Amino acid sequence: MELKSDKTVNPNYARILGYRDSFTSLSAAETPAQASKVTIGLGNITENRWIDQTTKELRTGFRINSNFINKAKDTDEEKATFELSGVVGKLQPEYDKNGDETGRLIVKFIVVQFGGKIDIIDLIAVDTAKAHIETNWKEGDTVKVVGVINMTQKTVTWMEPQGFGPDIPRQRTESSRELIIIGGSAGGLEDTLSYDADDIKVAIAERQKAIEELKSKSANKPATAPASSSGFGF
């Protein structure tokens, strides 16, 4: 925002506007080589919640936020990685659109944000990371994770058979937007480095209340109190 809460000028506003003039986005470049390469060394990952207007169901994803962008140096390695500390929520297998297990593990990761509020973000574990987590992590553990940010698109081509005549070529774009764990704590951190379980339960209840208010706002009707819950269910 241009002004801070106390109505004084927000210095970040003008600086971020300056990025528009300093850098060339991929969408504005004639070729990918003309797009600016940048580094973002200081940022945070937050939960993105919204109500699907078709199904009226809650949808969640993640956002990556940062106020600071620098022009990349020629020596900078091209990578997209993240580090998080938080609490292990549910561990559950991932299923594809047909209801079949993909072999990957979804870690519902509880991230404590400013003011004690929490975000719950899906992290993906595969292969050795999946095996380690299933063996050594349990719900409620405070752990650290390291991972890669996978935001990719690919074009899938196939031939659609017809009742008669030649098959018709078809194409669709498949997008991936996920946070994949590649490393982390051996197990839950010691108590002095861990979040208090009771505090997390309170924060989970507050998050659920915010979700109910979001649903109510979407439906234009008063919010109803969420059902009380103990433990780490959500």
**pLDDT 10s digits, 18-67:** 898 899 999 999 998 899 999 988 889 999 999 988 888 899 999 999 88
Query: Which residues touch 223 (CB under 8 Å, ≥6 apart)?
Result: 209, 212, 213, 215, 216, 217
**pLDDT 10s digits, 162-219:** 999 999 999 999 899 999 999 999 999 999 999 999 999 999 999 999 999 998 888 8
Question: Which domains occur in the chain, in start order?
Answer: 75-219 (2.40.50.140)
Query: Alpha-carbon dihedral of residues 190, 42, 27, 174, nearest 10 degrees?
Result: 0
- State the pLDDT at residue 209: 94
- State the pLDDT at residue 229: 53
As a whole number of angstroms, the distance between CA 56 and CA 219 comes to 8
Token pair, residue 149, equals 């940010």
- DSSP label at 223? -
Q: Report the run of H or E that residue 64 belongs to, with start and end.
A: strand 58-65
For 28-52, the DSSP string reads T-SSGGGSPPEE--S-EEEEEEEE-
As a whole number of angstroms, the distance between CA 88 and CA 136 comes to 11
Q: Is the pLDDT of residue 120 over 90?
A: yes
Q: Report the run of H or E that residue 82 belongs to, with start and end.
A: strand 81-95
As a whole number of angstroms, the distance between CA 200 and CA 116 comes to 9
